[in-house]
Amino acid sequence: MLFIDSTHPDMQFALNEHYKYVRCYVWKKLDAKDAGGAIKKCLDPGCPICTKNNIDPYPNIPIDIYKYLNDDTLLELLICGTPEEISAINLYFWELIFPGLEYHSCIEIVNKKHDQLKNDERLFYPVIKSKIDALTKIFNYKGWFDANKPSGYYSAYHLATYLNLRSCVYCNRTYTLTQFKTEDGAKIGKLLRPQFDHWFPQEHFPLLALSFFNLVPSCSICNSSVKGRKKFSLSDYIHPYVDNITDSILFSFTYRESIDSVKVELTALNDDATLQKRIDNTLQDFHLEEMYNAHEPELLDLIKLKQAYSDNYLKTLRNAFPGIKLTDNEMYRLAFGVELDPKNFQKRPFSKFKYDILRELKVI
Ligand SMILES: [Zn+2]
Ligand SMILES: [Zn+2]
């Protein structure tokens, strides 16, 4: 579980671009008008959303939803707010459009099959469903953001490119690179990009489907196979844009002599009991220790390296090539294929794992 530093200039650029396009898109879906009755537009005279009529407004939008989403301060907070802020605004918004109805039970009702509904739930179902449907179509992740072509003006491809996070922030085990199919230098189609995990799942938080800090670039295994629709809350789980726990988790290994094999262990060490519990929950639900136990060959390579070079391996390499001008970071990357600086762990899969194991082996 890696940390994404949202104060980094690349992240701020990604956030600004995301806000620019998502706000214009939502205005189009709302058919938003300003106080004087004029159609709302951004200040960019070449805006590919505001200047074209290729996005249809959501028909018969419930008036309360229109009113609150047409509030520019609220909309900016929804798109750009921190995980804590969007979590709070989600509840606030719900109270505004459904006074007196508890958010989570409403979402449960709307996610039930019709024959599972109790009598009183059948009463509320149509009105809740119509508002949830409106929110899903306005914050249209699947139909717009996820479906847009990489050659278009904005899409999941663009966000992934701007974020430029090269390995999965949840597992740091798989590359999450972004690349387009090209022809004569022009982007012509989709090739590869990370998935975007909705940290607050779309099924339960339709209002947050396009919120920047709710879109965590990750590998398909962590997003689809492991986390899925599991409901996370900030009080119980780690959020990669909020918590930097790199120093609080540690990979180690034990040798199991009876079966001549090694086992990877992943432990959390933190003085803060609440944080410790959140880390434990997260490691457990992402099954990270089990994932890394599939990599016994990679671990054995490191152990063999230690056996072959009883002295510091990097020192041995440097002594063997005295003329070579490389920094410690470069030397480490060439030797082990991973990054040494924790700030750069995301650039190469297995960086955190190898860092901890190599330290345990006293190779570094
Ligand atoms: Zn615009
Ligand atoms: Zn992953």
Say how many Å lie between the CA of residue 329 and the centre of ligand 2.
24
Q: What pLDDT was estimated at residue 136?
A: 95
pLDDT (average), residues 22-31: 98
Q: What pLDDT was estimated at residue 295?
A: 95
Task: Please report, for residues 120, 170, 200, 334, the alpha-carbon distance to residue 340 in angstroms, rounded to integers and kept in the order given.
Answer: 59, 18, 32, 11
Query: How would residue 259 be classed by pLDDT, with cut points 50, 70 and 90?
Result: confident
Say how many Å lie between the CA of residue 216 and the centre of ligand 1.
25
Q: What pLDDT was estimated at residue 30?
A: 97
| Nearest ligand (C-alpha, residue 226) | 2
In the predicted model, is pLDDT for residue 345 greater than 90?
Answer: yes
Can you give the three-state secondary structure of the chain, one letter per residue? CCCCCCCCHHHHHHHHHHHHHHHHHHHHHHCCECCCCCECCCCCCCCCCCCCCCCCCCCCCCHHHHHHHCCHHHHHHHHHCCHHHHHHHHHHHHHHHCCCCCHHHHHHHHCCCHHHCCHHHHHHHHHHHHHHHHHHHHCCHHHHHCCCCCCCCCCHHHHHHHHCCCECCCCCCCECCCEEEEECCEEEEEEECCEEEECCCCCCCHHHCCCHHHEEEECHHHHHHHHCCCCCCCCCCCCCCCCCCHHHEEEEEEEEHHHCEEEEEEEECCCCHHHHHHHHHHHHHCCHHHHHHHHHHHHHHHHHHHHHCCCCHHHHHHHHCCCCCCCHHHHHHHHHCCCCCHHHHHHCCCHHHHHHHHHHCCCC
Q: What pLDDT was estimated at residue 119?
A: 86
Say how many Å lie between the CA of residue 41 and the centre of ligand 1.
5
Query: How would residue 364 be classed by pLDDT, with cut points 50, 70 and 90?
Result: confident
Q: What pLDDT was estimated at residue 347?
A: 97
Q: What pLDDT was estimated at residue 82?
A: 98
Say how many Å lie between the CA of residue 130 and the centre of ligand 1.
27
Q: What pLDDT was estimated at residue 331?
A: 87
In the predicted model, is pLDDT for residue 258 greater than 80?
Answer: no
Quote the mean pLDDT of the chain: 92
Say how many Å lie between the CA of residue 160 and the centre of ligand 2.
15
pLDDT (average), residues 197-220: 96
Weakest-pLDDT range from 75-89, 182-196, 203-217: 182-196
Q: What pLDDT was estimated at residue 85?
A: 98
pLDDT (average), residues 58-71: 94
| Nearest ligand (C-alpha, residue 222) | 2
In the predicted model, is pLDDT for residue 107 greater than 90?
Answer: no
Share of the chain above pLDDT 90, in %: 70
In the predicted model, is pLDDT for residue 45 greater than 90?
Answer: yes
Q: Regarding beta strands 195-198 and 179-183, do their DSSP bridges make them parallel or antiparallel, or are they unpaired? A: unpaired
Say how many Å lie between the CA of residue 291 and the centre of ligand 2.
9
Amino acid identity, position 263:
K
The larger pLDDT score, comparing residue 171 to residue 362, is at: 171
Q: What pLDDT was estimated at residue 235?
A: 96
Residue 220, C-beta contacts closer than 8 angstroms, at least 6 positions apart: 195
Task: Please report, for residues 63, 167, 249, the alpha-carbon distance to residue 70 in angstroms, rounded to integers and kept in the order given.
Answer: 10, 37, 43
Query: How would residue 225 be classed by pLDDT, with cut points 50, 70 and 90?
Result: confident
Say how many Å lie between the CA of residue 71 and the centre of ligand 1.
16
In the predicted model, is pLDDT for residue 204 greater than 80?
Answer: yes
In the predicted model, is pLDDT for residue 312 greater than 90?
Answer: no
Matching residue, tokens 């671009």: 17
| Nearest ligand (C-alpha, residue 194) | 2
Residues near ligand 1 ion, CB 5 Å cutoff? 24, 42, 47, 49-50
Summarize pLDDT for 113-160 with one digit per residue, the tens: 888 999 888 988 998 899 999 999 999 999 999 998 888 899 999 999
The larger pLDDT score, comparing residue 7 to residue 334, is at: 7
Say how many Å lie between the CA of residue 97 and the centre of ligand 1.
27
**Residues facing residue 266 across a β-bridge:** 251
Q: What pLDDT was estimated at residue 111?
A: 86
* 160 touches 27 (CB < 8 A): no
